[in-house]
Amino acid sequence: MRQTLEQLRDVAGQCADTPVWSLPDTDLITAVHTVHDAEQMLAASKLHLIREIDGRNLPVAQQAASTTVWLREHLHVSIHTARRIVDLAQAIDQRPMLDAALSTATPTVEQAQIVAKTVHDLAPEVSPDVVDLAEKTLVEDFAGWEPAILRKAAQRILAHVAPEVAEDADRRAAERDAKRAQQTRAFTLTNNGDGRYRLTGWLDAEAAATIDAALDPLCKPDGQRTATQRRADALVEVCRLALRTTQLPANGGDRPQVVVTVPYDVLRQELRHGHLDTGERLSAQQVRRLACDAHIIPMILGGDGQILDVGQSRRLFTGPLRRALVARDGGCAFPGCDRPPRWCDGHHITHWTAGGRTALDNGVLLCGYHHRLIHRGEWEVRMADDGKPDFIPPTYMDHDRRPRRNIYHPRT
């Protein structure tokens, strides 16, 4: 094996030194994929080596405090990177299917880390058979998804493989996350010694949503400040307002508000766990606390999460109608876009000037960039039978013009 690896290193060095400017476009793209796949396979080999080193206790024999510290010194990586490598090496040692898939570059190392963490967290909650099925589903069905989307799919994996236990597991996970977030909350204002102060800390989802709702009306783009500068200024302004008054400025015609989507079990008269409009999960206790001091806005959902009624319609996508768009689309609905709801406009699928109604089944949330793109006419938007928007690409992108959807923001 040592001789093979040395030859592999020599070949890799030759590839790194080879000019690529003369490659045709198709060869250039193919080369990137080939190198990436080889990199992932080599990462799997490295994990096997590290697991064996750890199993033999070689780092301690060489006076290192742990395998993590030993890797930091030998591979010149950060302690956090070293920790993740060791954790993944241990995980795939316990998960042969994940190990085998990683050795074929499906999934990638980053995806494998998400799968490993998911099955680890599921193990105390459900039976081994369900854990195995969850692992198999994530590896085989979701390996083509990039990590941010895979992570969201992993959070909902029980709804796919074991819906009969998903609700209870989600409830326990939400309560566990809320408890950990509450216990570890922190805020630090540190004098940096150069005229600047550094803010650091941790908040739970409920607290973060409250702060976002307060800051958002005060940090709109103005062409002069960066986004981070606007948020810093907004935080100071909120504190100034708090010193003078209990009222915050209006935002889009409504007072700043935290929106929580929650199923209500009429049969049991029970309020269950919910989600903020950012997608963050709240425990039932947090939902009840918010509902205790809030104006309740009814939103009727069908069994598949389809929005059936939000009260009233208006000329513009505001008030209850906009809240319905936010609950359904979760942000910009254009495929691949992760812009949040507050950066989006309501777009008429059939234009208002052409007789289109301002209604949920004729509206879609789009960020400014994709709103302009849709108005150019190359892409089309259609409302599917399930009440959600499909986007039809131009023929130069897909000759068959197969419908596409955004999978960054799904609720279920």
- Could you read off the pLDDT of 17-40 as tens digits, one per residue? 888 888 898 999 999 999 988 988
Per the listing, tokens 């709109």 go with: 220
Task: Tell me the CATH number at 378.
Answer: 1.10.30
| 351 HSE (CA, 13 A, CB side) | 8
**What is the rounded distance in angstroms from the CA atom of residue 148 to the CA atom of residue 338?**
10
Q: Are residues 86 and 61 in the same domain?
A: yes
- Is a pLDDT exceeding 60 seen at residue 258? no
- Establish if 228 belongs to a structural domain: no
Q: Are residues 12 and 93 in the same domain?
A: yes
If phi over 0 gives left and psi between -120 and 50 gives alpha, with beta otherwise, what is residue 119? alpha
Q: Are residues 270 and 384 in the same domain?
A: no
Total-model pTM: 0.59
Q: Are residues 125 and 42 in the same domain?
A: yes
pLDDT digits (tens, 9 = 90+) for 179-207: 888 889 898 888 787 878 888 899 888 88
Q: What residues are paired with 190 via a beta bridge?
A: 198
Q: Are residues 136 and 8 in the same domain?
A: yes
- Establish if 21 belongs to a structural domain: yes
Burial of 262 (0-12, 13-18, 19+ CB in 10 A): middle
- What's the domain range around 283? 260-301
Total domain count, the chain: 3
- Establish if 265 belongs to a structural domain: yes
Instruction: Tell me which range, 110-124, 244-258, 337-351, is most confidently predicted by mean pLDDT.
Output: 110-124
Averaged pLDDT for residues 326-331 = 88
**What is the rounded distance in angstroms from the CA atom of residue 307 to the CA atom of residue 393?**
26
- Establish if 363 belongs to a structural domain: yes
Q: Are residues 155 and 294 in the same domain?
A: no
**What is the rounded distance in angstroms from the CA atom of residue 178 to the CA atom of residue 191?**
30
**What is the rounded distance in angstroms from the CA atom of residue 139 to the CA atom of residue 364?**
32
* Token pair in block for residue 340: 């949040």
Q: Are residues 129 and 74 in the same domain?
A: yes
- Establish if 318 belongs to a structural domain: yes
- Establish if 240 belongs to a structural domain: no
Model confidence at 154, in pLDDT bands (50, 70, 90)?
confident
Kindly give the pairing relationship between strand 197-202 and strand 186-191. antiparallel
**What is the rounded distance in angstroms from the CA atom of residue 222 to the CA atom of residue 225?**
7
The number of helix segments (H) and strand segments (E) in the chain equals 16, 13
End position of a domain, from candidates 164, 199, 223: 164
Q: Are residues 277 and 346 in the same domain?
A: no
Rounded to whole angstroms, the maximal C-alpha distance in the chain is 78
Q: How many CB atoms lie within 10 A of CB 379?
A: 18
Burial of 353 (0-12, 13-18, 19+ CB in 10 A): exposed
Averaged pLDDT for residues 352-356 = 73
